[in-house]
Structure 1
Amino acid sequence: MSDGSAIEWTDATWNPVRGCTKISPGCKHCYAETFAERWRGLPNHPYGQGFDLRLVPEKIAEPLRWRKSRRIFVNSMSDLFQDGVPVEFIRSVFETMNRAPWHTYQVLTKRAERMRSVCAGLPRDLVQQPQIWLGVSVEDRKYGLPRIDVLRETPAGLRFLSVEPLLEELGRVDLRGIDWVIVGGESGPGARPMQEKWVISLLEQARDADVPFFFKQWGGVQKGRHGRTLLGRTFDELPVARRRAAPRDDERREPVRLEVLA
């Protein structure tokens, strides 16, 4: 786990899975792939295999060792619901999120259909917990908007949208059953520009639906120069989260060790 994440809407990251594959236009300039491929071939490095899919069972229990409550982005360097990740492994991640409920877990995917299928097959009380937030990426109308309907059909304690990178005007977005909207532009080399009117449209729709709105960044090749203010202010709204106090050390329980598959 990495504490003190630079991602504005989270506190830390947890990566029991590494690596991914591109499936839609939002993946074109994947920051995680760019980072991971720097280290390909380096012996004993966590990303010595580049961005190839890799399960990391030894990371499964990591949140149990964190005493301070955090918002944790689950698999910032991957997608938990890739076809190559076994259901048993996904279940073990949910078990940890249940055994360490003093954190809030932000699980984001572009594989909305598999998330719906896997979550529907797991025990409802394992999936539908207030500390487990399930979200989908929404980058455009063709690929992104259909994921919202699938997310609405997925059992979850809280549902959110990460509209990043926002690549075009989305038009009317159905926010029924959605509890949080994040919006951001693409950053880094080759970043595709985002127009202010696209963002304002989403802000207004979130206001109309009474959904918290978080504006992450304008992005660009040098995102720091463009900042993250919108209409002269920052939008750092979050859903109301119920966090429990972390237990004493002698009360902690480690999940059952997986016999999976690295």
Structure 2
Amino acid sequence: MAEQTAIEWTDATWNPVTGCDKISPGCLRCYAERFSERFRGVPGHPFEHGFDLRLRPERLDQPLKWKAPRRIFVNSMSDLFHKGVPDEFVGRVFDVMEQASHHVFQVLTKRSSRMATFTRRRYGEAIPPANVWLGVSVEDGLRKGRIAHLRRTAAAVRFLSVEPLIGPMGEIDLSNIDWVIVGGESGPGHRPMLPEWVDEVQEQCAEQSVAFFFKQWGGIRPKANGRLLKGREWNEFPGERNEIAA
């Protein structure tokens, strides 16, 4: 069975890599690190080594065993394009995603430049697989350079995870971007997300005809303050925009 998840925009998670390290302010209160470090030193536990980067080759074939189609978030507990993950191993992950074409794979990274370079080298002038969605995390307007890298990425579907949104994004060029997810931070010491920051992103998605998904307001727990924005839930996916006026 796939690892179960409460993440609203996916059905399951697959972690052929675990562990990571911080590279920007959005990483400060990483939920994956907080979870993993609880088990550091527990013999035999999957996170016996805490949040240290670990390749998990024994997990590579998991999606091939899952017969029912589903959306799969790749490396919810890591970053596939971390510098410590060899290109050869990244390639093996892509091999599985391409082979398991009955699933949709959602890959998210903050190492956007490496993703762009890897995919352009892998696919060249070929059409990238339709079931592999590639995205970048962008937590505020200072990190928009990752969006430019995403536009250079060879992908059938490109998306942004604006989570945790910890500052205003400002004007966003969403050309060649198919989907935007927004969410607030959760957990101890969570940083607030102002409504006007969310409105600014949602309205630009509407203006530029980009699917918009509002995940959560955040709080001490992820679902503490609900998911309603402007009196409704926003659950749009690429190719499934609801034409409702902002």
Report TM bin, short chain: over 0.9
Which residue of 1 is the match for residue 212 of structure 2? 213
In the alignment, residue 159 of structure 2 is paired with which amino acid?
Answer: F
Does the aligned pair in 1 maintain the 2:123–2:154 contact within 8 Å? Answer: no
Q: Is 1:192 aligned to residue 191 of structure 2?
A: yes
Does the aligned pair in 2 maintain the 1:94–1:126 contact within 8 Å? Answer: no
TM-score, normalising length from structure 1? 0.89
Which residue of 2 is the match for residue 51 of structure 1? 51
TM-score, normalising length from structure 2? 0.94
Alignment: residue pair count: 240
SS at match of 1:149: helix
Distance, in Å, in 2 between the alignment partners of 1:8 and 1:185 is 13
In the alignment, residue 75 of structure 1 is paired with which amino acid?
Answer: N
Distance, in Å, in 1 between the alignment partners of 2:3 and 2:37 is 22
CA 157–207 in structure 1, closer or farther in 2 if over 3 Å, else same: same
Superposed displacement of residue 123, structure 1: 3.3
Q: Work out which structure has the larger RCO, using CA pairs closer than 8 Å and 6 or more positions apart in sequence.
A: 1
Q: Spell out structure 1 runs of 4+ moving beyond 3 A.
A: 1-4, 123-127
SS at match of 2:139: coil
Pairing of 1:72-221 with structure 2 (within 5 A): 72-124=72-124, 128-142=128-142, 144-221=143-220
Superposed displacement of residue 124, structure 1: 4.2
Q: Matched residues, percent identical?
A: 56
Does the aligned pair in 1 maintain the 2:162–2:182 contact within 8 Å? Answer: yes
Which residue of 2 is the match for residue 240 of structure 1? 239
SS at match of 2:35: helix
Structure 2: runs of 5 or more not aligned: 241-246
CA 188–76 in structure 1, closer or farther in 2 if over 3 Å, else same: same
Does the aligned pair in 2 maintain the 1:3–1:11 contact within 8 Å? Answer: no
Which residue of 2 is the match for residue 4 of structure 1? 4
Superposed displacement of residue 213, structure 1: 0.3
Q: Is 1:230 aligned to residue 229 of structure 2?
A: yes
Which residue of 2 is the match for residue 250 of structure 1? none
